[in-house]
Chains A and B, each alone.
Chain A
Amino acid sequence: MNCFDSALLTRRVVLVDNSSGVEQAEQQLISRSLAGEESACKQLYHGYAGMVAGYFRRSGFDRSLTADLTQETFVRVFSSLAGYDQGRGAFRPWLSAIARNVARKYWRRRRETNTFDPELADAMFAIPAEESGSPEQREEISAVADCIARLDEQLGRLIRLRYVRGMTTRGIASEAGMPESTVRSRLGEALDCIEKCLQGKGIVQ
């Protein structure tokens, strides 16, 4: 199997359009990868590399190390793909377990340990990416994005630092140059605004 070579390429590929087909598509990709089909290996890599790299970044690894850890994760994935049993669980949790193991191995090499929130990163890793969600989920995500876009610039930045970069309030305070207590209150304010906006759109009650 030539999965290792293809894992070096970095073009992003969207897996499927709807959640009902996700598991089927995953299984097909895995089967084709196991059969040695290089394009399937590439698709598998490109479909999940962003998610894995995002997890490493949110766990506090720098960009260069993130790329290395993502490669290492996929080397492990392709080495043990034959042992993956769909009957025991979906592919994503299996992949996330491997990525977590890789992260733990290099845990001490994280940048600023107080700046990032590994628990949040862990929790967010289990969430499916937007592309693999159902149309309803995509609509919800789109509504959230719209509500965030309506926030004032500073609140929007705080929300991005918290939920996209996965930073702790201390990390955000350091990044944004404001006291931690202010960050907390401003985040609460931002959440209130988003909640109201989503209520207006009928996304939340």
Chain B
Amino acid sequence: MNDRNDTTRNRVEGLLRRWGASQAAGQAADELAAPRAPKPIRRRSRAVILLRWAPLGVAAGLLLAASVLFTSTRMMQRDNAPSSSVARDTAPVTPRTSPADLSCELAEARRQTADAQRRAAEARTALSEALTEKQADDLQIKELRDRLKRQGDLFVRDRAKWALMETKLTSLIGKTERSAVDAKRELEKVRKELVDARSAATRTPKDSEELKGLKVRLDVAVKELKRQQDTFRGANVERDKAKEALASLKARHQAALDQIRRVYLAASAPGKTHLAALQEAIKRRDLLRRCAALKRKAHADADKKLLGRAEVALTRLGLLDLSDPSAVSAYVTGLARSDLIASLDAALGPLAADAGTQDWLFETKLILTGVQRVI
């Protein structure tokens, strides 16, 4: 009874909380919508203003008077100086006017030099930062590629192991099924013989002995059938486990790839998301320019062909109008239908390709596999 009361009370409490939450959300939204009350402006008395500004006014007056006096003195000095411009130009620097001019020029020159030095230092820092950033990016990409490669190797090995186990178990199941059918047939045969022997058992002692023998055979056949059925069930369970392990392995590999892609895009296309991030990564990582260089270096026709196909896919992605859903959809469908990603996977496997090609293939794989994962 108490439990029921508690449950009802909890339900009422929950309903009241929901009601309260909706009311509070509405009220808070209204409060946010209402303009905030302006802060009161503190009015100062005239005396306070006068006391504060009077000393400044006096100081400004004195400064003005001093400047007028200084200017008039300078004008008087100029009137006493030689009037010819040639004389002024060729005359030795007089100590009355030159030190001030020179010091001004010197100060200006110093300022300009300091400014230029500062700008140069800034440029050096920016260049150094850009270089460091690029090196860090390259290092990060390499690290990601190594991580994925390790994961990929592990995945390929485990996949082969589980696939082999599944094949073995399937074969075992087939064999066991056949054995069970044989055992069943044997059982039926013995049963039939036993029935025949039973009908004849009453006639002669010899038939009675035969009946005993048949009973023994029947027991053996039943045991064999049971054993075969157990084996069949066990093999089925094992095969299901192997299938599950394979599926889980694939899911883990996909999750690892997604995680690596997120890190890659965060480094290569900061501030961008979805397909725009992939487009940005193509640009910032110079994938198309690097592809052209790799194609020139490639010897095998198969490599050149793969690089060409991947280049086409990247170029199309780079130029894709993301505001056009039909264009995006057509690209995604086309990519899913092609075997390009499988070919990239196959090419990433062998160690024969150089590190540059491996890096490029890896980055291209990250981007192209990302098309379906980020939309």
Contact = CB atoms under 8 A, between A and B. Distances in A.
B18 interface: yes
Nearest to A36: B276
Interface string B148-180: 000000000000000000000000000000000
Contacts of A124: 17, 20-21, 24
A125 B18 CA distance: 9
B18 A54 contact: no
A164 B27 contact: yes
B8 interface: yes
Contacts of A82: 273
A164 B36 contact: no
B32 A70 contact: yes
B274 interface: yes
A25 B291 CA distance: 41
Contacts of B29: 10, 12, 46, 49-50, 53-54
B8 A51 contact: no
Given A34-B274, A127-B17, A191 B28 contact: no
A61 B375 CA distance: 40
Given A57-B24, A166-B24, A205-B8, A194 B31 contact: no
Interface in B94-112: none
A35 B274 contact: yes
Contact of B24 (A165, A195, A203): A165
Nearest to B23: A164
B273 A54 contact: no
Contacts of B11: 204
B273 A141 contact: no
Contacts of A166: 20, 24
B33 A127 contact: no
B97 to A, nearest CB: 58
A100 to B, nearest CB: 15
B26 interface: yes
A145 B32 contact: no
Chain B at the A interface: mostly helix, strand, loop or mixed?
A: helix
Contact of A66 (B12, B13, B20, B31): B31
A127 B18 contact: yes
A159 B29 CA distance: 21
B124 interface: no
B273 A34 contact: yes
A141 B31 contact: no
B12 A145 contact: no
Contacts of A34: 273-274
A180 interface: no
- How many B residues touch the partner, as a band? 20 to 34
A164 B17 contact: no
B17 A163 contact: yes
B20 A163 contact: yes
B21 A129 contact: yes
Contacts of A127: 17-18, 21
Contacts of B139: none
A54 B28 contact: yes
B15 interface: yes
Interface in B1-48: 4, 7-9, 11-13, 15-33, 36
Given A66-B28, A198-B12, A54 B21 contact: yes
Contacts of A131: 22
A63 interface: yes
Given A130-B22, A164-B27, A198-B12, A67 B36 contact: yes
A70 B21 CA distance: 16
Contact of B32 (A10, A31, A128): A10
Given A166-B20, A166-B24, A49 B32 contact: yes
B32 A204 contact: no
B22 A129 contact: yes
Interface of B: 4, 7-9, 11-13, 15-33, 36, 273-274, 276, 322
Given A128-B18, A130-B19, A195-B9, 6 more contacts: A10-B32, A54-B25, A67-B36, A127-B18, A131-B22, A160-B20
- 3 interchain residue pairs of minimum CB distance: A50-B29, A163-B20, A130-B22
Interface of A: 10-12, 31, 34-35, 46, 49-54, 56-58, 63-64, 66-67, 70, 82, 120, 123-125, 127-131, 133, 137, 140-141, 144-145, 148, 159-160, 162-166, 191, 194-195, 198-199, 203-205
20 contacts: A10-B29, A10-B33, A12-B30, A31-B274, A34-B273, A35-B322, A46-B29, A50-B28, A50-B29, A51-B25, A54-B21, A54-B27, A57-B24, A57-B28, A58-B24, A127-B17, A148-B19, A164-B27, A191-B9, A191-B13
